[in-house]
Amino acid sequence: MNAQKHGTTGYGVWLRGGLAAAADVYAGTVNLVENAHRAIADTGAAVNPVNWPERAISGLSYASVRTIGGVSFAAARGLAGLTRDALPDDPASGGAWLALRSALNGAVGDHLEATGNELALPMAFVDAEGQTLADDDPRGLGPIAARPRLVLLVHGLGMNDRYWRHGDQPDFGERLAADHGYAALRLRYNSGRDIAANGAELAARLERLVAAWPAPLERVTAIGHSMGGLVLRAAIEAGRAAGHRWPQLLADLICLGSPHRGAPLERLGESLNRGLAWSRYTRAFHAIGDVRSAGVKNLRHGLVSTERDPASPTGCFLVAASLGRSDEDPIGRVLGDLLVTVDSAFDHPRALDDADVDGCVFYGMTHFALVHHDDVYLALTEWLAPRLDAPMPRHQINS
């Protein structure tokens, strides 16, 4: 068996990773308090005769607090390291723990990766049951790996592959497998990393996957929700730049609520955080807002381009949601689907009036319903069906 259970985060991983994260929070809190203390003390420094002695004493005090805390956390982490064998991953802890870990990765995943924290999610291809492909070996999928069509589902910020499933209902990948003969995979990844970095890694993994596919692949369809659409666009660009073969097979790109022009909430968050830097009394708190991950910051502008995108597949389907009941509804115009506006979801580098690019809006729907709603699946299959009957304009690549 070439597949393995992945993403079921065990107690030992949470203990070790949690201690490492707590140590970082402790150090950051001490720095925050010291900086706030110093900003207040410096206000009257010119007329305070004991300013310099006080500054030296407080500096030593904070240094001592850092040292004591650092030593304590180092000792605790050393003891926690002994749990690698005693507390292995627990398969029963998968769902809720994976959701929490994914949210943590979305918020500070780049920091987790940079510090070697075990809670950082590694990128992996995952099947409908949560099994990952060892070394990107598609034979772990069993008989469906012989199918000539592959669909890849890529989740958004702070999410994971399980979000494509709604209750006990089959997800889009399973439905496309049953209705159109696809082999379906989902991507699980650290959504707090820089989008370009995730795109480059995905491109390399897809190249290995396609090379290892047991049967000749004729078509690849990619579906990205929210940030997932931007990661796919970055992967296409990276794959083309590297001379990969898999972009030749990419026939369909479907973006569900992807913020191509950026997300308003992140722009608002950045504006508020910049405001904290205006005063010496609030400047210390600016660091708190700046902790948010590179992935979150990337959503400020999205992937805006004024040029025709040479990395585009032969067909692109853009889907947007809106809380409004019509295009003229002010609620939808202002709030979009709660996270992404309709204009941003439609702002792909290739105009919608191109013959091979299409789109639709679902009114009265939220951002998160796009990953499982029956109406969304019906729309994307209605767009896909005639394309599946048409011959691919590219040559198939044999494994």
Predicted confidence band of residue 135 (pLDDT cuts 50, 70, 90): low
Predicted model pTM: 0.77
Q: Are 63 and 34 in contact (CB under 8 A)?
A: no
pLDDT at 13: 67
Instruction: Convert the pLDDT of each residue in 200-219 to its tens digit.
Output: 999 999 999 999 998 889 99
Q: Are 245 and 209 in contact (CB under 8 A)?
A: no
| Range among 61-65, 69-73, 112-116, 274-278 with highest mean pLDDT value | 112-116
Q: Is the pLDDT of residue 392 over 50?
A: yes
CA–CA distance, 197 with 222 (Å, rounded to integer): 18
Q: Are 68 and 104 in contact (CB under 8 A)?
A: no
H-state helical runs in the chain: 11-43, 51-80, 83-86, 94-114, 172-180, 195-212, 227-241, 264-276, 283-289, 294-298, 330-335, 342-346, 374-389
350 alpha-carbon distance from chain centroid: 23
pLDDT at 201: 97
User: Which range (22-36, 220-234, 310-324) has the least confidence?
Assistant: 22-36
3-state DSSP assignment of residue 177: helix
Sign of CA dihedral 321, 316, 148, 382: positive
Architecture of the 124-263+299-389 domain = 3-Layer(aba) Sandwich (3.40)
CA–CA distance, 224 with 302 (Å, rounded to integer): 14
- Count of H helices and E strands in the chain? 13, 9
Instruction: Convert the pLDDT of each residue in 165-198 to its tens digit.
Output: 988 899 999 999 999 999 999 999 999 899 999 9
Q: Is the pLDDT of residue 369 over 70?
A: yes
Domain range annotation of the chain: 3-114, 124-263+299-389
pLDDT at 142: 81
For the chain, what is the mean pLDDT? 76
Q: How far is CA 103 from CA 107, 108, 151, 359, in A?
A: 6, 9, 25, 29
pLDDT at 180: 95
Q: Is the pLDDT of residue 227 over 80?
A: yes
CA–CA distance, 258 with 359 (Å, rounded to integer): 12
